[in-house]
């Protein structure tokens, strides 16, 4: 089968399978938010990842990013996650925030550096057009003895409010575990999806123990989940809590209270709004989450 992502899935599937169902909600229905363990600050549980889709700094990309970020904010989201290594994504986000008065204060900006290098941090802040970020992460940690002293110093100096580490490879789980144990960062960002659940056995328990917030990268499994359900309807037993496949996949993750926020990437404002729907209505209970696993594993 040809490799397709969400955009192609949306184009090929029947419209009746794609239209997100709007749950009956009271006015100003509460959104799912999660407390950052170290401080108690509440963060909306669905954010935006900027990898790949916003890596070019040109007018079409900036326009698309502005529309998606606006959809994020209008839907009650705040978190935008980018990185110095995501092409020109930091510059794109910086342009979007600079174009609207007060937008920077509405966004929880998370970025990543590849090395604990002052010049790289300076470049990221310049691209983002901000004096500081909310979360600064060391990207793709591979050394279990990695010190975060430099990150913590930058936090003390006001360059960021929180520090974190990231990995999207199971081969680096031992390194993530080591750094979580001896450095106790504010956040860990990890690859975790309904069809790739290794993190819930190894990383999430330790993150909870050291009181680190958890961001889930690649929550759609690099598009695998959409490919697996192509042409299929959401099971009847799930329609009470999921109005679309995206919400089905995201609500599985949010059903684990150790997850602080999911950060799916998209360049489509309609998809952004659909993703944010995972913060509305109830979340699946433990038995329903087991049923979701059985369903996906059977595909």
Strands 108-113 and 133-138, by their bridges, are: parallel
To 5 degrees, how large is the angle CA 162–CA 155–CA 132?
Answer: 80
CB 72 within 8 A of CB 47: yes
Least confident of 5-19, 29-43, 163-177, 243-257: 5-19
Q: Kindly write down the DSSP assignment for every residue of 104-173, as one continuous string.
A: HHH-EEEEEESS--HHHHHHHHHHHTSS-EEEEEE-S---TT---HHHHHHHHHTSEEEEEEEE--GGGH
End-to-end CA distance of the chain: 14
Return all residues near 8 (Cβ < 8 A) that are at least 6 apart. Answer: none
Residue 108 has pLDDT above 70, yes or no: yes
Residue 189 has pLDDT above 70, yes or no: yes
To the nearest whole number, what is the mean pLDDT of the chain?
A: 92
pLDDT for 2 equals: 35
CATH fold of 42-297 reads: TIM Barrel (3.20.20)
Residue 73, CB-side half-sphere exposure with 13 Å CA sphere = 16
Residue 27 has pLDDT above 80, yes or no: no
pLDDT for 168 equals: 87
Least confident of 19-28, 157-166, 239-248: 19-28
Residue 28 has pLDDT above 70, yes or no: no
Percent of the chain at pLDDT > 90 equals: 88
What's the CA gap between 62 and 66, in Å, rounded? Answer: 6
Q: What is the pTM of this model?
A: 0.90
Other CB atoms closer than 10 Å to residue 22's CB: what's the count?
Answer: 10
pLDDT for 7 equals: 56
Q: What is the four-CA torsion angle of 117, 119, 125, 129, rounded to 10 degrees?
A: -170
CB 277 within 8 A of CB 248: no
Residue 185 has pLDDT above 50, yes or no: yes
Residue 8 has pLDDT above 80, yes or no: no
Q: How far is CA 158 from CA 130, 151, 212, in A?
A: 12, 11, 20
Higher pLDDT, 21 or 233: 233
What's the CA gap between 89 and 223, in Å, rounded? Answer: 20
pLDDT for 199 equals: 95
pLDDT for 3 equals: 40
pLDDT for 222 equals: 85
What's the CA gap between 198 and 202, in Å, rounded? Answer: 7
pLDDT digits (tens, 9 = 90+) for 71-91: 999 999 999 999 999 999 999
pLDDT digits (tens, 9 = 90+) for 224-236: 999 999 999 999 9
Which residue in 58, 32, 37 sits closest to 47, CA to CA?
32
CB 7 within 8 A of CB 230: no
What's the CA gap between 252 and 291, in Å, rounded? Answer: 10
Instruction: Give one word for 87, left, alpha or beta, with left for phi > 0 and alpha for psi -120 to 50.
Output: left
Return phi, psi of residue 128, to 5°: -80, -10
Least confident of 20-34, 39-53, 88-102, 122-136: 20-34
pLDDT for 9 equals: 52
What's the CA gap between 208 and 204, in Å, rounded? Answer: 6
pLDDT digits (tens, 9 = 90+) for 141-180: 999 999 999 999 999 999 999 999 999 888 999 999 999 9
Residue 1 has pLDDT above 60, yes or no: no
Percent of the chain at pLDDT > 70 equals: 90
């Amino acid at each position: 089968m040809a490799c397709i992502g969400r955009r192609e899935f949306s184009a090929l599937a029947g419209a009746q399978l794609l239209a997100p169902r709007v749950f009956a909600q009271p006015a100003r229905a509460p959104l799912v938010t999660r407390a950052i363990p170290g401080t108690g600050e509440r963060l909306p549980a669905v954010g935006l990842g900027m990898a790949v889709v916003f890596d070019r700094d040109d007018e079409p990309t900036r326009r698309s990013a502005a529309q998606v970020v606006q959809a994020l904010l209008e839907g009650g989201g705040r978190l935008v996650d980018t990185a110095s290594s995501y092409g020109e994504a930091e510059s794109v986000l910086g342009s979007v925030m600079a174009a609207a008065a007060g937008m920077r204060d509405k966004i929880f900006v998370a970025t990543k550096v590849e090395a604990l290098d002052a010049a790289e941090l300076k470049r990221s802040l310049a691209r983002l057009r901000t004096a500081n970020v909310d979360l600064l992460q060391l990207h793709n940690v591979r050394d279990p003895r990695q010190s975060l002293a430099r990150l913590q110093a930058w936090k003390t100096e006001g360059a960021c409010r929180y520090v974190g580490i990231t990995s999207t490879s199971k081969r680096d789980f031992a390194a993530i575990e080591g750094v979580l144990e001896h450095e106790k960062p504010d956040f860990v960002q990890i690859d975790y999806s309904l069809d790739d659940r290794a993190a819930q056995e190894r990383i999430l328990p330790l993150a909870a123990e050291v009181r680190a917030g958890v961001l889930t990268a690649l929550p759609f499994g690099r598009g695998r989940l959409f490919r697996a359900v192509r042409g299929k309807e959401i099971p009847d037993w799930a329609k009470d809590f999921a109005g679309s496949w995206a919400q089905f996949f995201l609500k599985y993750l949010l059903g684990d209270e150790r997850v602080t926020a999911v950060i799916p990437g998209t360049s489509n404002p309609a998809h952004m709004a659909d993703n944010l729907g995972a913060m509305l209505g109830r979340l699946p209970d433990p038995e329903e989450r087991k049923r979701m696993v059985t369903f996906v594993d059977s595909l």
